[in-house]
Each structure stands twice: as structure tokens, then as C-alpha cells.
Chains A and B, each alone.
Chain A
């Protein structure tokens, strides 16, 4: 395994009873990249991530995470992998500072807990009991616990669910900071704009398989997809055409209308369109 590979998965399989949750999945994540896993509920996203985190045992396949098989996690490996969980409200009776300080004590090379609290934007809430935090603040505490051990690799499971738009932007900045400092990040998300904003590469999971891996702007050959040009005809009815050369079409329309084209739009498929096609919803 070369030094620049953080995660390497080959032929991963996992069944629950009769149902095949992960059906021969291959995946490579490079060191230092932000990798987003997209997929509908039940596609095998969570199962895959939990196998990578060392919480679930696989049925078959080869898995290496930071050069260790997560099926038998070592203490040292646990110290190098950070996990941001979806659950919150576990330490109701403790304050933010108490929880973060306590978890910092488990790591050989922990970050300064007070700095971590400030970094996730909870400085003003450091002394507050965790049950008084809002949903978004609880997620920040989850993140603080995930990064306090200075992980080389950070797993984030749907990290911004329940955030307001401003909190999401701030959270994205935090992720970019971590990535800039060299942390490898694997995040699962339902939000396509989040994947587009953060990820170097996106992997789409459907029915237990990775159906495509690409940079967000190249997913599903998005760059080469036909553009849709729409306008209104002189009698007011909408018209549209698909074109590989939309500029030429617009010029032709401009000539036809003798200037301004009424209701003109030129669009390419959004990431969401591509994604929905890929997972078979369109």
C-alpha cells in the first residue's frame, strides 16, 4: 500500500440475513483529500462507513484504513482516526468543556481542548451543560470530540443535518481548514451542494455498489452533457432545445428575434439531476 492511500477497499461484501447491504464495493481514498459518499438511504452508505470505522465486521473483501485492517482495530489506530457521530445529547449532565477535556485525555497527542472548543464556535458555551445546547451546537460538540485527538483521517456522518444556512457555511469553513491542514476527510451527506462545495471527489453508492467516482463537476460526464436552451416564441409559448453547441444556438435565436431573446435560459444538468439519474430515480 503506497503512502498516499488512506483507504483502500476491494470487493467489500456485507449481508444482513437475506439482504445484501454491500455488494462488492471498491473504493480508494487518497491522503489529504475530502471524499464525499453520496447515496440514498439503504444504499449501503452507513454500513460501508461503519466497517471502515471498525464498528462492523465485513463478510468478504479486503479493507485497509491507514494501513490497518479495521476489523481488528488497535489503540494506536483509534488515536489516528476521528469519528463525528450522528448521535447527540449523550452527556447531558456535563458541560461542553468537561466533555471535551475528558475525551482529550484519551489521546496521546491531543489538541488543546479549549482551542478546539473555540475552533468549533462553542467558546461562549464552554461552561453550559450539553443538554442546554441547540441542535446545531450539539453537532459542533460532536465535531469537537471528533477532532480533539488531531486525527489523520476524519469520518463525518451527515454532519450538517439540522443546521441553518449560516451555520452550514461556518461548518464548511471548518472542514476546509481541517483539509488544508492535511486531514483526510470522508463525509457522507444527503446534500448535493455540500458535496459540491467541499469534496475533491464524490462517490455515489447505489444498491451496495460504488456506481461512480469523480470530481463533483465531472460526475456523470456533467461537463459534456447537452445544454438545454429555453426561450419564448413570439406568441408567448415556451420552447426549448437540447444542444451540444448552445452558443451557436443562442446566436441563431438572437438573429431570428433581431436582438433580445424573450425568456432565454441556458442550463446544464445540476448535480442533483445527474445524481438522481445515477441512482435510478429518473
Chain B
């Protein structure tokens, strides 16, 4: 049914028609997800731009000290890094998966011999790459413009690593799980955005956590973002600030514990509720 006779040029140089092994399939899927993400301008602006703009605005307006040797700017930037990690995982997936489900992308993938896990691996690779890029951007801006100091000890870098990894894992699993609540493409954002916004206000991102009413602190302590913020403060704020935390220290064991529990909750919800097709598809 060729109407135009111009032959197809070889468009993708290194794309053999032969099926790759499991790792190859996952990497290909990840590359495709990243490509799709980068080409949809709204999601790039929203995901990467939002935390950056917030840092530029808030850090420029408020620069008072909240404790000896600790500025609000430092406090806010650590909170924004945690928020950014939640945005690339929880919000990104919670908003995009319903759209893809509604468009039939997931159904189409299920009609191929692609193993199910490859699709999830692709999403995880995209979240990890955007998370690293976003964190690097935030750190670069904060170090150049707002005198944030990068961690100097190996211990601090290790803490940075595991808090981010555990936090992103919990948020990724919860994002995939919450995607099944949205009935249509458009409602994903309506389900996810309020949850994320409320958590940002009560978890010590915009406001110093200990200044919040006790009941609000208790509600926030049930969710991951508060613990991600606290874990990152252990990395970027002076050790002395630990005494100003609600528990009298940075409580890293508890950070690991709560985030770990959320990983389990998220995983169980994913395994029990994930849908490849919309409800009207049965």
C-alpha cells in the first residue's frame, strides 16, 4: 500500500531487530521512557523546573537564621531536594500511568511478548535518571547561588545515597499503586497533586517542621516525605541541628524504618491493584 515510493532510510542506527536479553530489554525500555519524557515539554518543565524555580524564589526571599549557623535557605533546599525526588517518582508516575493506561499504551504492551517486569524496569530507570539529574541541578544552583555546602564526609555521602534511594523507591511504588485509583487519564493529576501538595506543607519543606502544630507533625510522620526531609537534613545541616529535630536527633534508624515500611506497603498495593487496562476495558 505504498503511495510514496521513497524508500525508508535507516533511521535508528543501532537497533537490531533481534531480541535482546533481559538486561538489554530493560535498558531499551528505560531509554524509550526517558526519550518520551524529555520530548514532552510539559513534564520536563513541571518535573525538573518546579523544584528549581521554588528554590530560586524561596531562597531569595527568606535568608534568616533558624538556628545558630543554620539558615532557612539550607533548610528549604534540603526539603526541596526531597520534594524533587517525590516529584520525579510519585507525581510523575501517578499522573502519567493513568494517561498511558487510558491511551491504551499498557494494553498494547501486554499484547507483545515483552515480560511484564520490563515495563516497570523502564519506569524505574526513567525515575532514577531524572532523579539524579534533578538533584544535581538543585545542588549546582544552591551551591553557586545560595552558599549551600556539599557534604564533606563519606558517611554523609553514604547517608545521602541511601536516604535518596529508599525514598525514591517508596515513592515510585506508591506512585504506581496510586495510578490505579484514577479512573480516567485526566484524573491522575487530580488524585496525586493534592496529596503531594499537602505533604509538602506539613512535612517540613516550606515551613520549619518543629514550628508546625503537634497534630500536623504527627500526621506528617505517617508519610515518607517528612522522613526523606529529615534524612537529608542529616546530610546537609550541621550535626548540632539534630538537637532541634522533634526527636532530639536526626533519627536515621527511624528514617530507614519508616521508608522501608512504605516500600513494603507500596509493593503490596502494586501487586494487588495494578491494572493494565482501564475499568471500561474489563
Contact = CB atoms under 8 A, between A and B. Distances in A.
Interface string A151-180: 000000000000000010011011000000
A110 B15 CA distance: 12
A145 B114 CA distance: 13
Given A55-B111, A79-B113, A167-B1, 4 more contacts: A76-B113, A90-B108, A93-B39, A106-B114
Contact of A110 (B3, B6, B17, B111): B17
19 contacts: A53-B111, A55-B282, A78-B113, A87-B104, A89-B103, A93-B36, A94-B39, A97-B8, A98-B11, A101-B11, A106-B114, A114-B10, A118-B2, A121-B1, A124-B4, A124-B6, A127-B11, A149-B112, A170-B1
Nearest to A122: B8
A55 B110 contact: yes
A93 B41 CA distance: 10
A174 B1 CA distance: 6
Interface residues of A, number: 53
B100 interface: yes
Shortest beta-carbon contacts, A-B, top 10: A170-B1, A87-B104, A97-B11, A93-B39, A124-B4, A79-B113, A121-B1, A78-B113, A123-B8, A114-B8
Given A90-B103, A97-B12, A102-B28, A85 B108 contact: yes
Contact of A91 (B6, B11, B17, B105): B105
Interface residues of B, number: 40
Interface in B52-97: none
A94 B100 CA distance: 14
Nearest to B118: A106
A25 interface: no
Of the candidates B32, B104, B112, B277, the one having the most CB atoms from chain A within 10 angstroms of its own CB is: B112
Contacts of B113: 75-76, 78-79, 106-108, 149
Interface secondary structure of B, over-half rule: loop
A171 B115 CA distance: 31
A174 B2 CA distance: 10
Contacts of A76: 113
Interface stretch (B18-26, B198-206, B229-237): B18-26
A149 B18 CA distance: 11
A72 B250 CA distance: 50
Contact of A78 (B8, B12, B39, B111): B111
A56 interface: yes
A105 B19 contact: yes
A90 B105 CA distance: 6
B104 A171 contact: no
A92 B4 CA distance: 23
A104 B113 CA distance: 10
